[in-house]
Amino acid sequence: MMGNRECESSVAELLERHFEVAFSAPEGVKKLRELILTLAMKGKLVPQDPNDPPASELLKEIEAEKQRLVKEGKIKTPKALPPVRADEVPYALPSGWAWVRLGDFVYLEMGQSPASQYYNQSGDGLPFFQGKADFGVLYPTPRYWCTQPKKYAFPGDVLLSVRAPVGPTNISNIKCCIGRGLAALRPIMGVRSLFVNYFMMRFRRSLEMLATGTTFTAVTKKDIENLIIPLPPLFEQQRIVARIDELMARCDALETLRAEREEKRIAVHAAAIKQLLDTQDVEASAKAWRFISWNFGELYAVKENVAELRKAILQLAVMGKLVPQDPNDPPASELLKEVEAEKQRLVNEGKIKKKKPLPPINPDEVPYELPTGWEWVRLGEIVKSMDYGTSQKTCDDQALIPVYRMGNIVGGQIIDECFKYISPDIEDLPRLYLKRNDILFNRTNSYELVGKSALYKGSDDYATFASYLIRVGLFENQTNPEYISMVMNAPYFRSSQIEPEIVQQCGQANFNGTKLSICSIPLPPMQEQLKIVAKADRLMTLCDQLQSSINAKAAKQAELLGAVMV
């Protein structure tokens, strides 16, 4: 038998060996916690003491205590549970341990919710816990109190969430009323509450697999009582709990250290990006770029910074800071003249209707200063058309016309999946067929998602779009569609043009076409638009590579973690 010091040394060596892996991998600390509980439940976390009375003796004492409690009317006579069969046992246990049913060593009280008139938020009566939503870090947090409780939990009971979700546990430190979302597991004859809690954490997946239901999943009293649990001697339970507490505290410290490192990376990166975006000083901007370059590997080891880099690229692009200006380029004011001439031609040919002039942009509307040769313009000044999509009923017939919906716009890109379909014979077609380089703008969604947009790069006359999207058609000889799409996805556009004008109605946020037409757009010369798009594309490809590298590293760490933490 392994001695006390040998066991402690072996486990400590195992955990130390995986410390760096657990710290570095995204799910490392979580896996380390699982390893600790697995070692505990296999009798490998602390040494066995041959002088400890075996679990079989403890079970006899528990049975005698149950009979006493029944005789005194403190509990109901429990139903006999079937013995654990050999084919149910997942692994061999140390000497002195026993495989048992959970109901063999705990008394189970299923919760029952009182009528709504009997619970309140004023603190009148017993604390009332309904389910997982009431759980705190360790002890449940009262939100309601009950004056007519039906089912009770007592200090030391392990509270188990039995429905939506199944499996989370907590420990009651007060007498309380429990609703139907909870069960109280009452350990008998000195079995430690923390021990039962840790065991339930380890075997949560086993319990989840027993859950049934459609609207929400739940487990029954029978499911819980019949759960197979490894039971060590009482004194070993105490040693196990003490060791788990010690190691879990170390895991907490690991998580704190990891979070602090990530927060520092994010904060330092945010400061450098802010300096890039806010300064007009060329040397200060170059200093910020140098800092990012020198610390590139460290800063972009976290996906949050890659996401912020994407935003910064877009913002630098539309501020004229991504590529140098060429004084020989015809200014944007010349493009505006060409757009007006093209509009007039199309009006004369009857292809578009003449629109009312949009109000000029006042100085107090300008989000930031532009380089020489650029112009602030209303979006409506430089577009050929703005159209709401079709409201005709769709179906799942893939032989018909695909309909792009708000879910097809993700991260500034159009995703070709989860289509609905519509007949080609509806009156909205062919007028609402999409053309390559149309921009789709989401006018109705949640507050966070209304205003998202993307460039359509598919074939002409292949698909249409739903009514909660707006199609923006452009004059492609004077404006580069990819540049305008970039503008509409830039941070300034969201913060200064969209969010101040969002209207909330019935749980939905709305932003109409009229508001979209008066949004302010920074317009550079045409050649600079092309250079900006080319540079931004290269940088976004770099971001894709960074994200892929992070994902690959995380997958490799997870693979290594899985290999060593068995």
Q: Is the pLDDT of residue 337 over 90?
A: yes
Q: What percentage of the chain reaches a pLDDT higher than 70?
A: 93
pLDDT tens per residue, range 55-104 = 999 999 999 999 999 999 988 888 889 999 999 999 999 999 999 999 99
Stretch 16-37: mean pLDDT, rounded?
72
Which class is domain 53-232?
alpha beta
pLDDT reported for residue 253: 87
DSSP state of 159: E
> How buried is 115 (Cβ within 10 angstroms: 0-12 exposed, 13-18 middle, 19+ buried)?
exposed
Q: pLDDT higher for 457 or 355? A: 457
pLDDT tens per residue, range 90-102 = 999 999 999 999 9
Q: Which of 74-78, 170-174, 179-183, 450-454 has the lowest mean pLDDT?
A: 74-78
Give the 3-state secondary structure of residue 30. Answer: helix
pLDDT reported for residue 1: 41
Residues linked to residue 473 through DSSP beta bridges, in sequence order? 385
One-letter amino acid for residue 442 of the chain: N
Question: Residue 173: which of 157, 187, 196 has the closest Cα?
Answer: 157
Which class is domain 332-524?
alpha beta
| Cα distance between residue 546 and residue 309, in whole Å | 11
Q: What is the CA radius of gyration of the chain?
A: 33
Stretch 309-329: mean pLDDT, rounded?
93
pTM surpassing 0.75? no
Q: What percentage of the chain reaches a pLDDT higher than 90?
A: 66
Mean pLDDT of all residues in the chain?
89
pLDDT tens per residue, range 346-399 = 999 988 888 888 999 999 999 999 999 999 999 999 999 999 999 999 999 999
Q: Give me the residue label for tokens 């250290």.
A: 257
| Cα distance between residue 294 and residue 208, in whole Å | 48
pLDDT tens per residue, range 470-512 = 999 999 989 999 999 999 999 999 999 999 999 987 778 999 9
- Sorted by sequence, the CB contacts under 8 Å of residue 5 that are 6+ apart come out as none
Q: Is the pLDDT of residue 2 over 50?
A: no
Stretch 284-295: mean pLDDT, rounded?
79
Question: Residue 221: which of 325, 112, 120, 138 has the closest Cα?
Answer: 112
Q: Is the pLDDT of residue 529 over 90?
A: yes
| Cα distance between residue 402 and residue 347, in whole Å | 31
pLDDT reported for residue 29: 82
pLDDT reported for residue 370: 94
